Amino acid sequence: MFAGDGGFGAEMTKDCPTENVDGHWRVGLDDAGKPHPELVALLRRHTKAFALEGRPGRVLDSEMEMEIKVVTDADLRPEAPRRASPEKRRAMETTIDQLLSWDVIEPSSSPVSFPVLMVRQRDKWRFCVDYRQLNAAIIPDRYPLLY
């Protein structure tokens, strides 16, 4: 961006005609006045990658597995769960149930565990995991590129 060009705000696209596709996306129109078919096909082909209808987006691809490299002699110990009030405990259980149903997390029997914290954020609770012990033991990836 250059000084004075205004950036890529809504004012640059406000006069561009669009159409709502599948109730999820506003897609620009081609010269014939129809949504760009290639873009519509791409969006439909990868619908699960987008956060829609209250669910997180998700890409399932066995080629995109990530490995976390940990220092060889790292002493990762299980941490005891933090104390939580009944209100925080209910919020924690609700969040865990929701993440399990979305297939974002799965049950584990790992010898290492990290504590969960519930942090008040305006009128609801935010689910946080304290990974400081793990982060201290990770070998940094200098060039984190996919493929």
Higher pLDDT, 6 or 78: 78
Q: Which domains does the chain have, with CATH numbers?
A: 10-49 (no CATH), 63-147 (3.10.10.10)
Please state the pTM of the whole predicted model: 0.62
Per-residue pLDDT tens digits for 46-74: 888 888 877 787 777 666 677 788 998 88
Structure tokens at 85: 């009030």
pLDDT band for position 1 (50/70/90)? very low
Structure tokens at 63: 């080629």
Per-residue pLDDT tens digits for 7-27: 555 555 567 888 888 888 888
